[in-house]
Amino acid sequence: MRQIFEAELQQVGDDLTEMSRLVESAITRAGTALLEADLRLAQEVIASDKTIDAIESSLDERCVHLLAQQAPVATDLRVVVSALRMSASLERMGDLARHVAQVARGRYPAQAIVPEARDTFAKMHDAAVRVAQRTTRLLATRDLEVAEAIERDDDIIDELHQQTFATLLGPAWSGTVQEAVDVTLVGRYYERFGDHGVSVARRVTFLVTGDFPED
Amino acid sequence: MRQIFEAELQQVGDDLTEMSRLVESAITRAGTALLEADLRLAQEVIASDKTIDAIESSLDERCVHLLAQQAPVATDLRVVVSALRMSASLERMGDLARHVAQVARGRYPAQAIVPEARDTFAKMHDAAVRVAQRTTRLLATRDLEVAEAIERDDDIIDELHQQTFATLLGPAWSGTVQEAVDVTLVGRYYERFGDHGVSVARRVTFLVTGDFPED
């Protein structure tokens, strides 16, 4: 019984790591599609989001099956319930990468992001890619220093997100309304992406320490 | 054992309904705060979001406790896992109502929504309030006609959301960049609010029919 449980739990962990790897690939390509107006990359990201959704579904089914067959308690139970939560966050991160790619595709062959905001978005993108890479590492290692690094990257994204508003509302802004809408929406997508990374980081921290870190 | 389980499950259901009632109140007041530039209402919504978050936490703890103590299977298990999912959606709906209120507060004493978009937002708000009211009713009754009505309201919100872009990008637009940002963000908050209502509706439908409706 215990052996089956361990094997199933291992599979749940592997699915989470696999989802996180796909999210990492999606956000990396979405940002490049956005910053380089690369239509092919944008379309790849949009098409591949289905794979992330499919893993989420099968992971959720596996967790419910595991709860039914094994009736885990204590830490084991927390691990399964946390996996359900984390798969929802990772699925959402995939959606947000897809939304970024959709903006890139919608403006092609033009650049969605105006030159005066490009540097901010390039930095925001780098921080989001780090969040995704660290999420994969955190899921594999449960190293809490990685969880802390995710929180710091999210703070950086939030600061850069504020900078996008400063650019939009500053005296130098000369973009069109469409460009203002795109900066607003894409900034929001990156901000939410970081939030979900933090959510995963806090759930792993809770599993390791028993304490759920607050804001 | 079964009696304790039924009582606990009843409490989980009551908590969900209570969260939904608070969400209903929050989105109703947030929209009025937005459309009437009512600072007091906006502040009430922002302050009361903590209550929704607190119910979510206790509901989640109750579900984990229930899984550990009662090891439910089959339908009972689905009910508990769905409750975990629905509480996350309701918590998020509360956040989105708070975000709408924060925009109203940020622009006070000015109106955040420009006159040319006001009618669209008034309709979007009405549809969002219906989503919230119907979610409460659905949780209490599991009447699948209510679930279908939520899907229709969400379609209305999506259509109105598209209209906000038509307004922003149309020749008659004469707003400031701040006004364009506010229309973009608040439109997005309402759109996500509707999505989460649909997510709850689909989970209830799944519990009743065993089929998860797809997009």
pLDDT tens, residue by residue, B134-168: 999 999 999 999 999 999 999 999 999 999 999 99
Distance separating the N- and C-terminal Cα atoms of chain A: 39
pLDDT at B213: 67
Q: What is the average per-residue pLDDT within B172-192?
A: 97
What pLDDT is attached to residue A212?
67
Which of A67, A177, A188 lies nearest to residue B180, judging by beta carbons?
A177
Please state whether the peptide bond connecting residue B109 to the residue before it is cis, i.e. omega within 30 degrees of 0.
yes
User: Is the separation of the CB atoms in B24 and B90 below 8 Å?
Assistant: no
**A85/chain B closest Cα distance in angstroms:** 8
> Region B52-58: what's the mean pLDDT?
97
pLDDT, one tens digit for every residue, chain A (215 residues): 788 889 999 999 999 999 999 999 999 999 999 999 999 999 999 999 999 999 999 999 999 999 999 999 999 999 999 999 999 999 999 999 999 999 999 999 999 999 999 999 999 999 999 999 999 999 999 999 999 999 999 999 999 999 999 999 999 999 999 999 999 999 999 999 999 999 999 999 999 998 766 55
Asked whether the ipTM of the predicted complex exceeds the cut of 0.90, the reply is yes
Which residues on chain B are in Cβ contact (under 8 Å) with A5? none
**pLDDT tier at B20, thresholds 50, 70, 90:** very high
First to last CA, chain B: 39
Return the pLDDT at B37: 97
Beta carbons of A77 and B85 less than 8 Å apart: no
Q: Give percent of chain B with pLDDT exceeding 90.
A: 94
pLDDT of B88 reads: 97
Classify A163 as helix, strand or coil. Answer: helix
Q: Which residues of A touch B (CB under 8 A)?
A: 63-64, 67-68, 71, 73-74, 77-78, 81, 84-85, 88, 165, 168-169, 173, 177-178, 180-181, 184-185, 188
Peptide bond into A109 cis (omega under 30): yes
Chain B's closest residue to A75, CA to CA, is B68
Domains of chain B: 2-209 (1.20.58.220)
Q: Which of B74, B81, B168 sits opposite A181 (nearest CB)?
A: B168
> Which of A77, A168, A185 lies closest to B68 in CB terms?
A77
Whether residue B203 has pLDDT greater than 60: yes
> What is the rounded CA–CA span in Å between residue B105 and residue A184?
19
B209 burial type by CB count under 10 A (0-12 exposed, 13-18 middle, 19+ buried):
exposed
Instruction: Give me the pLDDT at residue A133, please.
Output: 98
The pLDDT of residue B214 is above 70: no
**Are residues B67 and A84, on separate chains, in Cβ contact within 8 Å?**
no
Contact between chains at B73 and A68 (C-beta distance less than 8 A): yes
Q: For residues A32 and A113, what is the distance between their CA atoms, to the nearest angstrom?
A: 12
| Nearest chain B Cα distance for residue A176, angstroms | 9
Residue A140 and residue A17 in contact, taking contact as beta carbons nearer than 8 Å? yes
Closest CA to A187 of A103, A106, A115, A111: A103
Cβ–Cβ below 8 Å for A77 and B88: no
